[in-house]
Amino acid sequence: EQALAWMAQNYPAEHYGLVIKSHGSGVLSWWGPGSVRSEHPGQVETFFVGYDDEAHDCLTPFEVEAVLARFKDQHHQGRKLDLLVADSCDPAMIEVLYQLHDEVEYFIGSESTIIIGSFRYAGMLSLLKAGPQIDARQLCERIVKDFIDSPEHSSTHDVMAAFALEAIPALVERFDLFAERLLAVRRDHGKFGVKGLVSFYDGAYWDLGKLAEAISQGRGEFATSPGYAELKAAAEEVLTALRATRVSMWYDGDYATGKVGGLSLFWPSKADKYQEYRNYYKTLALSEVTAWDEFLDCWFGVLPE
In a domain, 235, yes or no: yes
Residues 125 and 217 in one domain: no
What are the CA-CA distances from residue 125 to residues 131, 214, 295 (Å)? Answer: 10, 40, 44
The length of the chain is 305
Q: Specify whether 152 is located in the same domain as 184.
A: no
Pairing relation of β-strands 17-21 and 81-87?
Answer: parallel
Task: Establish if 253 belongs to a structural domain.
Answer: no
pLDDT value of position 54? 46
191-to-19, 29, 184, 200 alpha-carbon distances in Å? 41, 27, 11, 21
> How far is it, in rounded angstroms, from Cα 275 to Cα 33?
10
Q: Which regions in the chain score pLDDT beneath 70?
A: 27-58, 153-155, 303-305
Residue 270 lies in a domain: yes
> For position 216, what pLDDT does the model report?
98
Looking at the structure, tell me whether residues 265 and 288 fall in a common domain. Answer: yes
Beta bridge partners of 93: 264
Provide the pairing of β-strand 199-200 with 104-109: unpaired
Please state the domain count of the chain.
Answer: 2
Q: In terms of domains, do 274 and 175 share one? A: yes
- Answer whether residue 254 is part of any domain: no
Q: Which of 150, 167, 184 is the last residue of a domain?
A: 167
Would residue 46 count as lying in a domain? yes
Tell whether 174 and 154 lie within a shared domain: no
CA pseudo-torsion sign 180, 95, 208, 31: negative
- Clarify whether residues 220 and 282 are in a common domain: yes
Indicate if 215 and 72 belong to the same structural domain. no
Which of 167, 182, 214 is where one domain is finished? Answer: 167
The residue among 18, 31, 134 whose CA lies nearest residue 67 is 18
Q: Is residue 208 domain-shared with residue 150, that is, in the same domain?
A: no
Rounded to whole angstroms, what are the CA distances from 237 to 149, 178, 187, 193?
32, 8, 22, 21
188 shares its domain with 264: yes
Does 154 share its domain with 7? yes
Q: How does DSSP classify residue 253?
A: H
Asked if residue 300 belongs to a domain, the reply is: no
Per the structure, the complete domain to which residue 211 belongs is given by 169-245+260-294
On whether residue 180 sits in a domain, the answer given is yes
Give the strand pairing for 57-59 and 246-252: unpaired
Contact 177, 291 (CB under 8 A): no
Q: How far apart are the first and last CA of the chain?
A: 36
Report how far residue 4's alpha carbon sits from residue 186's, in angstroms, rounded to the nearest whole number.
46
pLDDT at 56: 44
Q: Which amino acid is at 207?
A: D
Asked if the structure places residue 68 within a domain, the reply is yes
Q: Are residues 42 and 157 in the same domain?
A: yes
- Give the residue from 303, 267, 64 showing the smallest Cα distance to 179: 267
Q: Which of 140, 167, 194 is the last residue of a domain?
A: 167
Instruction: Give the global pTM.
Output: 0.90
CA neighbor of 260 nearest in space, from 111, 143, 149: 111
User: Do 203 and 126 fall into the same domain?
Assistant: no
